[in-house]
């Protein structure tokens, strides 16, 4: 049998690396809390059209990199029941009218019927005199098609009614009815017994839905903002998230098909100040603080403004014209982009094209007055806060929703995939997916890349326990567990050996896993004085059990 492996572009994260992941997440949560952000968790898959409309159909992410599938058509049981009841129910629920029904039944008994796939118990009859009904009870099952199982279970339900004291139907005839959509499956020959088959007209199959594993989380957050009417509060929403994203890119160092992002979004109605350049500067200042607290040194903040949608359209045309004489000397991708989407030429990584790209007009010259003023105010606030940045005219970002401020933090230690994080303003995104005006700004950090950077800086502490307990003999295993419990409750991290190990094996195992080894023999147990060896110093110490936790938590001194 071939052995199964993690799928290309995905990977397992193992200790001790996971300790670093946890430290990064804990630091991020603590910084977000200080800036008064709350956590949002959105589903990992969404309707495909969210990304098509939000991120943009023409982007690489949407056109080439999404994991998309069709979620098959579904029988909508609730809808067929509701419509059938509406079509059949008596106008006067207190009385039964000829040919019509009243939905009835003792809830206890109905629950039992439900267990047999029978969703309704109805009365069908006429009221002959007050307090005298002539008619019958019907058990009704709603299914996507006819099946022997449905018929069998209806018959079982009738059997149950005869014997169940809760049924209250003993004195009436019981008929059985199977309702299926007119377009439902009839199958080949099935004995209907005495079950009435009723094909019911209407659309009771929900059509297949196209779903996509989220390639990024901004569109999902804005979808949630709209769905839960978070703008109604009139306040700015400051939301952060930590979680997996999925893109079908060519895997390489720092680029995976499942990767994790730590991101945050500030979004709200314009009256809450969501358009203010101070929001942009505050988010960037928070990022500088977060990277500093994570211990990531040597980052560069690249900053640009892509202006309003109108500014960008104008710039696209300027670029298109400028590229006409230049494109034939450029790479094949650029030749295509020069026609379809000139802005994307600025993303080109081909070395030979760089001197040509450097001669192209810059977007700063296409910005209108209000975009210029906005950007100048962002820069002034960053200068005042002492956050260093580099203006980068070529930073246009690969997602269509950006307006005005865009940014990336890069780190040279990362190699080709050098973007630690990216983000920007998206003032029209909410409207693009059917919501109210809700300008916003945010970012997402590649958590995998933060880990790579920290590992390259050798800041990952090796994970070792405070103590390893070595019981001398299997009869001491229970006492060893009890001692481990005591120490763990005191907040220490403890590994537990086994009494079947020889002392040498215990020492070897302890030396790899912990700072100290605690020997637990019969004598130690009786006297309450334990022998502890500290590996860093090689010193062996006798410690009273009551003082053991304190001794083990003190770092060794040479």
Among 423, 439, 471, 521, binds ligand HAM (CB under 6 A): 423
Lookup result for tokens 């997602």: 399
Nearer to ligand HAM, 366 or 406 (CB): 406
Distance CA 479, CA 465 (A): 19
Q: Find the radius of gyration of the CA atoms of the chain.
A: 34
Tokens of 81: 């029941």
Least distance CB 525 / ligand HAM (angstroms): 52
- Using CB under 6 A, count the residues that bind ligand HAM: 26
Least distance CB 427 / ligand HAM (angstroms): 11
Q: Is there a contact between 491 and 532 (Cβ–Cβ < 8 Å)?
A: no
Answer yes or no whether residue 420 interacts with ligand HAM by CB under 6 A. yes
Nearer to ligand HAM, 113 or 399 (CB): 399
Tokens of 424: 């920007």
DSSP letter string, 155-196: HHHHHHHHH-TT---TTS-EEEEEEEETTSB--S----TTPE
Distance CA 529, CA 544 (A): 4
Q: Is there a contact between 332 and 351 (Cβ–Cβ < 8 Å)?
A: no
Answer yes or no whether residue 42 interacts with ligand HAM by CB under 6 A. no
Single out the segment in contact with ligand HAM by CB under 6 A; choices: 310-318, 413-421, 460-468, 535-543. Answer: 413-421
Distance CA 19, CA 174 (A): 65
Distance of CA 250 to the CA centre of its chain: 22
Answer yes or no whether residue 54 interacts with ligand HAM by CB under 6 A. no
Distance CA 270, CA 277 (A): 12
How far are the Cα atoms of 57, 140, 261, 271, 389 from residue 63, in angstroms, in the given order?
A: 6, 47, 21, 35, 32
User: ω into residue 16 within 30 of 0, thus cis?
Assistant: yes
**Listed residue (1, 163, 198, 191) closest to 87, CA to CA:** 198
Single out the segment in contact with ligand HAM by CB under 6 A; choices: 81-89, 216-224, 388-396, 451-459. Answer: 216-224
Least distance CB 436 / ligand HAM (angstroms): 18
Answer yes or no whether residue 422 interacts with ligand HAM by CB under 6 A. yes
Among 81, 197, 387, 419, binds ligand HAM (CB under 6 A): 419
Nearer to ligand HAM, 327 or 444 (CB): 444
Nearest position to ligand HAM, beta carbon: 446
Distance CA 243, CA 223 (A): 17
Judged by CB under 6 A, the chain residues 437 through 456 that form the site for ligand HAM are 442-444, 446, 448-449
Least distance CB 65 / ligand HAM (angstroms): 8
Could you give the count of Cα atoms lying within 13 Å of 405 in the half-sphere of its Cβ?
32
Judged by CB under 6 A, the chain residues 279 through 318 that form the site for ligand HAM are none
Least distance CB 422 / ligand HAM (angstroms): 3
Answer yes or no whether residue 138 interacts with ligand HAM by CB under 6 A. no
Least distance CB 377 / ligand HAM (angstroms): 19
Q: Is there a contact between 548 and 524 (Cβ–Cβ < 8 Å)?
A: no
Q: Is there a contact between 531 and 542 (Cβ–Cβ < 8 Å)?
A: yes
Answer yes or no whether residue 534 interacts with ligand HAM by CB under 6 A. no
Query: x/- binding map, residues 240-279, to ligand HAM, per CB under 6 A?
Result: -------x-x----xxx--x-x-x-x--------------
Residues that bind ligand HAM (CB under 6 A): 216-218, 247, 249, 254-256, 259, 261, 263, 265, 399, 419-424, 426, 442-444, 446, 448-449
């Amino acid at each position: 049998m071939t052995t199964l492996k993690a799928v290309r572009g995905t990977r397992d994260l193992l200790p001790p690396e996971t300790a670093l992941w946890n430290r990064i997440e804990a630091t991020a949560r603590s910084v977000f809390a200080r800036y008064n952000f709350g956590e949002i968790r959105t589903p990992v898959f969404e309707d495909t059209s969210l990304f098509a409309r939000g991120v943009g159909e023409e982007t690489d992410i949407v056109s080439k990199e999404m994991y998309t599938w069709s979620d098959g058509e579904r029988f909508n049981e609730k809808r067929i029941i509701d419509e059938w009841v509406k079509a059949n129910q008596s106008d006067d629920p207190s009385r039964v009218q000829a040919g019509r029904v009243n939905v009835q039944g003792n809830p206890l008994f109905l629950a039992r019927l439900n267990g047999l796939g029978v969703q309704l118990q109805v009365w069908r009859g006429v009221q002959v005199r007050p307090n005298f009904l002539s008619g019958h009870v019907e058990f009704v099952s709603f299914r996507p098609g006819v099946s022997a199982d449905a018929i069998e279970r209806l018959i079982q339900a009738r059997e149950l009614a005869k014997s169940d004291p809760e049924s209250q139907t003993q004195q009436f005839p019981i008929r059985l009815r199977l309702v299926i959509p007119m377009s439902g499956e009839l199958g080949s020959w099935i004995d209907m017994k005495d079950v009435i088959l009723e094909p019911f007209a209407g659309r009771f199959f929900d059509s297949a839905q196209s779903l996509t594993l989220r390639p990024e989380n901004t569109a999902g957050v804005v979808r949630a903002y709209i769905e839960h009417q978070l703008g109604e509060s009139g306040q700015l929403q400051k939301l952060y998230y930590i979680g997996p994203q999925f893109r079908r890119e060519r895997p390489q160092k720092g680029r995976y098909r499942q990767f994790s992002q730590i991101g945050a979004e500030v979004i709200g109605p314009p009256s809450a100040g969501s358009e203010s350049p101070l929001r942009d500067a505050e988010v960037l200042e928070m990022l500088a603080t977060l990277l500093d607290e994570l211990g990531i040194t040597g980052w560069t903040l690249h900053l640009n403004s892509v202006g309003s949608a109108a500014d960008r359209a104008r710039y696209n045309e300027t670029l298109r014209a400028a590229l006409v004489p230049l494109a034939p000397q450029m790479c094949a991708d650029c030749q295509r982009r020069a026609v379809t989407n000139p802005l994307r030429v600025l993303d080109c990584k081909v070395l030979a094209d760089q001197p040509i790209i450097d001669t192209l007009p810059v977007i700063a010259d296409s910005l209108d007055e209000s975009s210029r003023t906005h950007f100048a105010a962002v820069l002034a606030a960053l200068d005042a806060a002492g956050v260093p940045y580099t203006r980068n005219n070529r930073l246009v970002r690969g997602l269509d929703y950006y307006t005005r401020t865009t940014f990336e933090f890069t780190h040279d230690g990362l190699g080709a995939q050098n973007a630690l994080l990216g983000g920007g303003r998206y003032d029209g995104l909410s409207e693009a997916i059917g919501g109210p005006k809700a300008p916003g700004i945010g970012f997402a950090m590649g958590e995998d890349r933060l880990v790579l950077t920290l590992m390259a800086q050798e800041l990952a502490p090796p994970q070792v326990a405070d103590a390893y307990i070595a019981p001398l003999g299997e009869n001491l295993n229970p006492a060893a567990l009890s001692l481990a419990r005591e120490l763990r409750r005191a907040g220490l991290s403890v590994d537990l050996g086994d009494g079947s190990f020889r002392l040498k094996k215990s020492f070897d195992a302890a030396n790899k896993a912990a700072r100290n080894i605690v020997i637990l023999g019969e004598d130690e147990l009786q006297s309450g004085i334990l022998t502890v060896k500290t590996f860093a110093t090689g010193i062996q110490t006798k410690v009273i059990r009551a003082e053991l936790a304190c001794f083990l938590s003190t770092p060794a001194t040479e």
